[in-house]
């Protein structure tokens, strides 16, 4: 691409090796979660939420299980101020939930923030100022010493006002634009703030290290976090927090590697809403842990309902391929994928399995409120016999023989290809019924009578070409006798190959279903299905269906009369 030379790497790496996180294989416990949906998420909306929408969103976050929720920047606008006051005055904040408010390190903003907090039982005051090279040089035009003084003076004022204001206040400091700051300087600023706040076991301090703009690969961010974690003063009383954005599309990776590197806390939003490409997606992070058998401490068992509320309140849509939540993320259209999933689900049904290991499905969709039908296997022209057979079995109870599934699969894919559309399971069932079940053209039977005696003598009443006929046959069983009668009386030639029957259990009362295949003289196999309350009649109807499919497929064949 043109102009590539105008870009360069804008991040720094720690001055010492910080790679211990690489040796860890997985995240073994959930972090402290802090939702910033009502601040970062809300300010990124085309149409920000109104008061009532914010209140509903706050309750949603509480229901999900968030214990720390950033509710806004109360000094930034009257809307933000009123929202915080409403939460406090209506007593809407549960005792086990700590609200968080954001403030720049500027005196009038800090004072206004504490004014808004009057009456709050417990809150985190989140102080920040920007520290990056670009901000220092281009925005503030101040040396490092003055940037440190901005942070320290703000920390001192917060401490003073917290002592004067009723309530329990915790402090959080962010060197905003941390990823564009020299790591050693970021450490100096954070330690200077810690020198003011003096964290203790009873009153820990949060040091939040935001990936305000993603500038590096995720492993560099992890090394920066590890270095900071190892050198912050009073580390045992410091909660290291991360706030990854998603400019490079690696917000989730940054957060996960940062947790391996020592981060205790993660700030993010539901489904990753936020400025530019968004904040880190807490839904994805939490369910990634869930897929490894680690309880994330948040409730996403009804994810579709949560998603519906978020989309309604934010007017933002979750993408169809969004991890876990997207409409299509558990869906297989590919025939081989469908077959593997169907066999994996069948394998689980055969006996109780301790762990979920179904191919292509990292978690059981039902665990987050998704349904198998319409979610896992969907049918289009790329689909295969396994998925089609699985859907018919799950909803309608048909357990087709493997080769019949293949025959039906080609039929269904042909319809999908011709119509250029995805087919629902009901449409598939209609195709199956129309093409294979109880077919009565050009030959139908209305009555069968089994006589006593050797050879199972059988008499059938059939209808063909507008005529009613009575035909007779015998054989080594009742179905064989019917087949022999058809061949002898109508001039048909075929060989019976496959027979299968079972009770049609799904929504069918006492009906039985039978499947039969026959092979014509050219070696082509034709399948038929019969359904009836009597298993023998179901078998005869299956045979007639197969014969009718064969006759229709042989246009030059003429039935004998």
Residue 532, pLDDT > 70, answer yes
Residue 450, pLDDT > 90, answer no
Tell me the pLDDT band of 298, cut-offs 50, 70 and 90.
Answer: very high
| Residue pointed to by tokens 């509480």 | 62
Which residues 6+ apart lie within 8 Å of 196 measured at CB? 152, 155, 156, 159
Three-state SS sequence of 151-187: HHHHHHHHHHHHHHCCCEEEEEEEEECHHHCCHHHHH
Nearest-angstrom CA–CA distance, 374 and 430: 16
Sign of CA dihedral 178, 184, 190, 193: negative
Which residues 6+ apart lie within 8 Å of 344 measured at CB? 357, 358, 359, 361
Tell me the pLDDT band of 231, cut-offs 50, 70 and 90.
Answer: very high
Tell how far CA 41 is from the center of its chain. Answer: 20
Residue 133, pLDDT > 70, answer yes
Q: Which residues are annotated as a binding site for Mg(2+)?
A: 40, 243, 245, 279
For residue 58 the two structure tokens come to: 């706050």
For residue 346 the two structure tokens come to: 């069948």
Q: What is the pLDDT of residues 495-518, one digit of tens each?
A: 877 899 999 865 556 799 999 999
Residue 129, pLDDT > 80, answer yes
Q: What is the pLDDT of residues 80-111, one digit of tens each?
A: 999 999 999 999 999 999 999 999 999 999 99
- With beta carbons less than 8 A apart as the criterion, state whether 155 and 173 touch: yes
The pLDDT of residue 168 is: 94
Residue 161, pLDDT > 80, answer yes
For residue 433 the two structure tokens come to: 């019924």
Nearest-angstrom CA–CA distance, 316 and 310: 8
The pLDDT of residue 375 is: 67
Tell me the pLDDT band of 383, cut-offs 50, 70 and 90.
Answer: low
Q: What is the pLDDT of residues 242-282, one digit of tens each?
A: 999 999 999 999 999 999 999 999 999 999 999 999 999 99
For residue 86 the two structure tokens come to: 């409403």
Q: Which residues are annotated as a binding site?
A: 40, 243, 245, 279
The pLDDT of residue 433 is: 94
Tell me the pLDDT band of 60, cut-offs 50, 70 and 90.
Answer: very high
Strand partners, 421: none
Continuous H helices in 44-181 = 51-64, 78-89, 107-116, 133-134, 144-164
> Domain boundaries in the chain?
25-307, 335-435, 443-553
Which residues 6+ apart lie within 8 Å of 549 measured at CB? 435, 436, 439, 526, 527, 528
Stretch 404-423: mean pLDDT, rounded? Answer: 86
The pLDDT of residue 256 is: 98
Burial of 267 (0-12, 13-18, 19+ CB in 10 A): buried
| Residue pointed to by tokens 């319809």 | 415
Q: Which fold has domain 25-307?
A: TIM Barrel (3.20.20)
CATH superfamily of domain region 443-553: Alpha-isopropylmalate synthase LeuA, regulatory domain (3.30.160.270)
The pLDDT of residue 508 is: 53
């Amino acid at each position: 691409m043109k102009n590539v030379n105008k870009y360069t790497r804008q991040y720094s790496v720690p001055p010492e090796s910080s790679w211990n996180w690489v040796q860890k294989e997985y995240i073994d416990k959930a972090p402290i979660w802090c939702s910033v949906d009502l601040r970062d998420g809300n300010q990124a909306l085309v149409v920000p939420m109104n008061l009532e929408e914010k209140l509903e969103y706050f309750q949603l976050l509480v229901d999900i299980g968030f214990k720390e929720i950033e509710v806004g920047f109360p000094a930034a606008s009257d809307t933000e101020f009123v929202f915080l006051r409403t939460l406090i005055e209506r007593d809407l904040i549960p005792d086990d939930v700590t609200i968080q408010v954001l403030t720049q390190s500027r005196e009038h903003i800090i004072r206004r923030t504490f004014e808004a907090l009057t009456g709050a039982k417990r809150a985190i005051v989140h102080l920040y100022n920007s520290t990056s090279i670009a901000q220092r040089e281009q925005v503030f035009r101040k040396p490092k010493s003055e940037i440190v003084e901005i942070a320290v003076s703000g920390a001192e004022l917060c401490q003073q006002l917290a002592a004067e204001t009723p309530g329990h206040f915790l402090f959080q400091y962010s060197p905003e634009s941390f990823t564009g700051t020299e790591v050693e300087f970021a450490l100096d600023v954070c330690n200077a703030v810690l020198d003011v706040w003096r964290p203790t076991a009873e009153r820990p301090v949060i040091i939040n290290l935001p990936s305000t703009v993603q500038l590096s690969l995720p492993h560099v961010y992890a090394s920066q976090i590890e270095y900071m974690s190892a050198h912050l003063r009073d580390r045992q009383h410091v909660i290291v927090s991360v706030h990854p954005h998603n400019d490079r599309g690696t917000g989730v990776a940054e957060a996960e590697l940062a947790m391996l590197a020592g981060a205790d806390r993660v700030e993010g939003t539901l489904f990753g809403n936020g400025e530019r490409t968004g904040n880190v997606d807490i839904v994805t992070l939490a369910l990634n842990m869930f897929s490894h058998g680690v309880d994330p401490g948040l409730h996403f068992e009804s994810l579709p309902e949560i998603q519906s509320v978020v989309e309604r309140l934010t007017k933002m849509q979750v993408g169809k391929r969004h991890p876990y939540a997207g409409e299509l993320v558990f869906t297989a259209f590919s025939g081989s994928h469908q077959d593997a999933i169907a066999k994996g689900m069948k394998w689980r049904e055969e006996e109780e399995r301790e762990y979920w290991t179904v191919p292509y499905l990292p978690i059981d969709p039902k665990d987050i409120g998704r349904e198998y039908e319409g979610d896992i296997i969907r049918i289009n022209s790329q689909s295969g016999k396994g998925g089609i057979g699985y859907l018919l079995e799950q909803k309608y109870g048909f357990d087709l023989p493997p080769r019949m599934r293949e025959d039906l699969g080609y039929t269904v894919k042909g319809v999908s290809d011709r119509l250029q559309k995805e087919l629902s399971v009901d449409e598939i069932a209609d195709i199956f019924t129309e093409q294979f079940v109880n077919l009565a053209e050009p030959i139908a039977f209305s009555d069968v009578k089994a006589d006593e005696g050797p050879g199972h003598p059988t008499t059938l009443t059939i209808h063909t070409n507008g005529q009613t006929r009575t035909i007779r046959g015998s054989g080594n069983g009742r179905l064989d006798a019917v087949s022999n009668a058809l061949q002898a009386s109508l001039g048909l030639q075929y060989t019976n190959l496959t027979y299968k029957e079972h009770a049609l259990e799904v929504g069918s009362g006492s009906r039985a279903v039978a499947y039969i295949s026959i092979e014509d003289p050219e070696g082509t196999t034709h399948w038929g299905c019969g359904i009836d309350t009597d298993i023998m009649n179901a078998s005869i109807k299956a045979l007639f269906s197969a014969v009718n499919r064969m006759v229709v497929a042989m246009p030059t064949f003429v039935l004998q009369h």
